[in-house]
Structure 1
Amino acid sequence: MTIRIAFPTIAACLLLSVPALAETFEVKMLNRGEKGTMVFEPDYLELEPGDRIRFIPTHKSHNAATIDGMIPDGAAGFKSKINEPFETGFDKDGFYGIKCSPHYGMGMVMLVKVGKASLPESYRAVDMPARAKPRLEELFERAANP
């Protein structure tokens, strides 16, 4: 009788302690997309902590890298190799500015929101190429007004 009661209780505890499964999102790095040349598609994502992004270079000469000054405090930045698919996880709440290093000057950027975060005003003051600024400003507005 004790085993009949203990087993379901233990099984229920184990099931309840399993964390929610993380999602993996795919982002294409394109020479030309719906929003013009040198773009990430999608260029804005909202994730939960633990979710992952797989960056896919669909054309040559692309990579994904965090933008200096646009990652949450305590989060590790990243920089993928050019022309190689790259997958990374996002565990810390906040906003992550991401660029394609070779095409940053052409405005190839994206924004990732993780968890329940507010966009830091300091992100708007980050020094960036002239063509990246309007794209990021549009992404900042989208993040502020979902």
Structure 2
Amino acid sequence: MKNSGPDGAMVFEPGYVEAEKGDTIRFVPVDPAHNSVSVAVPEGASSWSGGMNEEVTITVDQEGVYVYKCTPHQALNMAGVISVGDATNYEAAQNAVKTLTSNAATNKDRLTGYFSNVSAD
């Protein structure tokens, strides 16, 4: 969770992660005033809602697509995607990406770019 990175201002770095079922993902607040909150998770997976400036650790224990955002910077499309195995919840994740992107004031291509790495197969 950073104020700037290769993908622009207000970013998760990396913004797209391919993980294996059972992997642990850490959201580390490198810069202040960020959090990590799940927006879409596969069926049976746990959602999360990290506090401001809080490091969050999750285990991706279900196959599918996990979409997440930084609440105070969602207007800047500070969001990301984790893909685990088969995209079992592809449509729900795609709808979450569309909603976040349509509500964003800037960086409209960022999240859709991350999501384009996910295969609907």
Classify the TM-score, shorter chain: 0.7 to 0.9
CA contact (8 A) 1:109 1:132 kept: no
Of 55, 60, 63 in structure 2, the residue corresponding to residue 90 of structure 1 is 60
Instruction: Please say which structure displays the higher CA radius of gyration.
Output: 1
The answer to whether the aligner puts 1:135 opposite 2:110 as a matched pair is yes
Whether 1:52 aligns to 2:24 is yes
2:92 to 104, 122, 144: 122
Distance 2:90 2:82 in 1: 13
Does the CA contact (< 8 Å) of 2:65 and 2:87 recur in 1? yes
Matched, 1:105 2:56: no
Distance 2:17 2:41 in 1: 15
Amino acid across the alignment from 1:120: Y
Q: Is the 8 A contact 1:60 1:83 kept in 2?
A: yes
Q: Does 1:32 align with 2:32?
A: no
Relative to the length of structure 1, the TM-score reads 0.71
Q: Structure 1 residues 36 and 49 mapped into 2: Cα distance closer, same or farther (>3 Å)?
A: same
In the aligned structure 1, how far is the partner of 2:85 from the partner of 2:30? 28
Alpha-carbon RMSD across the aligned residues, in angstroms, is: 1.9
| Aligned residue pairs, count | 115
Q: Which runs of 5+ in 2 are unaligned?
A: none
Aligned equivalent of 1:78: 48
Contact 1:119–1:144 at 8 Å: present in 2 too? no
Counterpart of 2:110, as a letter, is R
- Which structure would you say has the larger RCO, counting Cα contacts within 8 Å and 6 or more residues apart? 2
